[in-house]
Amino acid sequence: MKVGARNRIIGTVTDIKKGSIMSLVKLNIPADSHMASVMTLESLEELGLKNGDKVEVIVKAVNVLVIKS
């Protein structure tokens, strides 16, 4: 699949939490950092993701959020 995003990171799935419609997939990425992705249960099933899977994370931000640290 061709995508326009250039921000690609290799990661490992560390946790999957399933809700009634959506799921939260947590990932470890290089430099001992963490990321997460929210996707539909249908997408999760189509990808067949499970803990320990190696994945390519493609980041294409449409929003930038600022939080107090």
Asked if the model's pLDDT at residue 3 lies above 90, the reply is no
Place of tokens 């189509």: 46
Q: Is 67 part of any domain?
A: no
Which alpha helices (DSSP H) does the chain contain, by range? 41-47
Q: Are 49 and 16 in contact (CB under 8 A)?
A: yes
Q: How confident is the model at residue 5 (pLDDT cuts 50, 70, 90)?
A: low
Whole-number CA gyration radius for the chain: 13
Q: Which residues span the domain enclosing 28?
A: 7-59
Mean pLDDT of 28-35: 92
In a domain, 17, yes or no: yes
**Number of domains present in the structure of the chain:** 1
Within-domain flag for 2: no
Is 1 part of any domain?
no
Tell me what pLDDT residue 25 has: 97
Q: What is the CATH number of the domain that holds 15?
A: 2.40.50.100
| 24 found inside a domain | yes
At 32-67, the pLDDT tens digits run 899 999 999 999 999 999 999 999 988 877 777 778
In degrees, rounded to 5, the angle at the alpha carbon of residue 22 between the alpha carbons of residues 5 and 27 is 55
